[in-house]
Amino acid sequence: MTTLLFLFVLSAALLHASWNALVKISADRFLGISIIVFFAGLISTSGLFWVGLPTLASLPWLALSAILHIGYCLFLSRSYKTGDLSQVYPIARGCAPLITALLSWLFLREMLPPFAILGVGLIIVGIILIAFPQGRKSLHLDRNTLIAAITTSVFTACYTLSDGVGSRASDNALTYILWLFAINGWVMGAVMYFKYWDTVGKSIRQYWKQGLMGGLMQLLSYGIVIWTMSHAPIVLVAALRETSVLFAMLLSVFILREPFSKMRLLACVVIVAGVIGTKLG
């Protein structure tokens, strides 16, 4: 992976953590994420006239990814409803690189160099340390929240692999990105309308600024990731993206006033070491 791609993915990680923080501070978690996805879809729809239609080869992956993203939004919002950002986010993201690595090896036969494998492993360990700074004693999530967070990571791994393959099947990664977000926005907009039909207009007027900001950050964040996966190994990009946990932890401490600890500081060092390992690999 080139230095430019490397820096792009780290920037995407910061953006991803930022829009997740916006979801956490909204009153209704599912409504919050729905509005963000809806606005990302509106932004993407305006660009469809410039990129043309997606290729036939990418259509199955667009359809599959749209379904997986709905599942991701559903379980992410459910886990944020009762859990802290500083713990839910690392769990939801931490399992994803390992699952992605296994799926990439099984279906795409993508193998990483030894240093890169070490780096991915360190990133996963660091994420676990952030989520559980005092071992099992630090687990403050009820069973349903924990299951929802883990399920979110499964959806994350699956749509990451789907979009990585889909972007490669497309003639232009930008075309795939805009169509993906447009479809997701239309679908989530419909779901939001039927779920909140009596208050959806008021909610959009109330949260349109957060929705627009979050939608733009979501589009840029995952758009960068999809584009990068068309030029670099999927598992490597997926692991680097999860450094967003570092940024989420900082946001949770300084904005949401959630606790910090020495163990989480150690976790930061481990993740940074992992990032260096992936770059050397």
pLDDT digits (tens, 9 = 90+) for 207-221: 888 899 999 999 999
pLDDT of 139: 60
The CB density around residue 81, as the number of other CB atoms within 10 Å, is 15
The domain of 58 spans 3-133+142-280
pLDDT of 24: 60
DSSP bridge partners of 135: 133
On whether the CB atoms of residues 212 and 39 are closer than 8 A, the answer is: yes
pLDDT band at 199 (very low <50, low <70, confident <90, very high): confident
CA distance 47 to 36: 17
pLDDT of 46: 93
- What residues contact residue 206 under an 8 Å CB cut-off, 6+ apart? none
pLDDT at 243 over 60: yes
pLDDT digits (tens, 9 = 90+) for 47-93: 998 998 999 999 999 999 989 988 988 888 888 777 776 677 777 87
CA distance 126 to 90: 9
pLDDT at 135 over 70: no
pLDDT of 68: 93
pLDDT at 25 over 60: no
Q: pTM (2 decimals)?
A: 0.82
CA distances from 172 to 20, 59, 88 (A): 28, 13, 34
Q: What sign has the CA pseudo-torsion 142, 73, 157, 39?
A: negative
State mean pLDDT over 223-240.
Answer: 87
On whether the CB atoms of residues 22 and 32 are closer than 8 A, the answer is: yes
pLDDT at 104 over 80: yes
Nearest to 244 by CA among 61, 19, 43, 54: 19
* Mean pLDDT of the chain, nearest integer: 84
pLDDT digits (tens, 9 = 90+) for 141-193: 677 888 888 899 899 989 999 999 999 898 889 999 999 999 999 999 998 88
Q: What sign has the CA pseudo-torsion 268, 273, 274, 280?
A: positive
CA distance 1 to 127: 22
On whether the CB atoms of residues 185 and 44 are closer than 8 A, the answer is: yes
CA distance 178 to 194: 24
Q: Residue 231 is which amino acid?
A: H
CA distances from 216 to 72, 82, 135, 167, 185 (A): 18, 26, 36, 20, 12
pLDDT band at 134 (very low <50, low <70, confident <90, very high): low
b/e per residue 128-155 (b: at least 16 CB within 10 A): bbbbbbeeeeeeebeeebbebbebbbbb
CA distance 269 to 267: 5
Instruction: Compute φ and ψ for 136, nearest 5 degrees.
Output: -65, -25
Ranking 44-58, 114-128, 193-207 by mean pLDDT, the lowest is 114-128
How many folded domains does the chain comprise? 1
Both tokens assigned to 9: 């993915």
